Structure 1
């Protein structure tokens, strides 16, 4: 999937927009009950997804496996579902969605690890964009 890096980065920016918007609303209302939701939108959404996207951009060989698409599906959906699960846990005292989403998040990271191991240890040559520019 050649646009996996772009997909991660665009999704991360959407999470950042929602996270900032939520922070503005909480600040204006002086109600910080849902700060963990805001924090996880920014951490799992903005930070993690953006880093994944940049890593896929830096190492194009990572994009060549079905693992990249599985990683996007698992981590991208978790960045949205996990904060919703935290909201439900706080507002309705039902942590089931947050617990389930945390396992999906772990799955996404394990798939990413498998892809990294595949490229860095078993592929012919894992080149970076900088390496390709110098060649």
Structure 2
């Protein structure tokens, strides 16, 4: 999946927008009963998906193979459904979606762990090399 880094980062930014918006709404209403939903949108959505994307960007060798796609297919819906499931658990006392989403998330995390372990154990230097830092143009003086 050639652009998996961008897809992870794009979804992370969407989750960040949702989490921040929810935080603002909670602050305006002075009602923080859904703080766990807000926290999971930011932690699972923004922080974790963003770190996945940056890791794929830094080590392009991780993008190779079917497991990168599997990682996204498990993690992307889980990051969206997990906060929604927590909401349903708090507001409606229906925890099933949160439970299912947490297992999807675990599957994505274990897939990522496997990819990192495989990369760490590989002897091919080109596979373990981090991508070079981009050269940014210097502003004209």
Q: Give the structure 2 partner of residue 62 of structure 1.
A: 62
Q: What value does the CA root-mean-square deviation take over the aligned residues?
A: 1.4
CA displacement at 1:122 relative to structure 2: 3.0
Length-normalised TM-score, structure 2: 0.89
* Residues in 1 aligned to 2:22 and 2:96: alpha-carbon distance in whole angstroms: 23
1:12-48 per-residue CA deviation (whole Å, 9 max, x = no partner) reads: 0000001000111111111111110000000000000
CA displacement at 1:121 relative to structure 2: 1.0
Q: Give the structure 2 partner of residue 24 of structure 1.
A: 24
Q: Give the structure 2 partner of residue 15 of structure 1.
A: 15
| Over 6 Å off, 4+ runs | none
Length-normalised TM-score, structure 1: 0.93
Structure 1: runs of 5 or more not aligned: none
Structure number with bigger Rg = 2
Higher helix share: 1
CA displacement at 1:120 relative to structure 2: 2.1
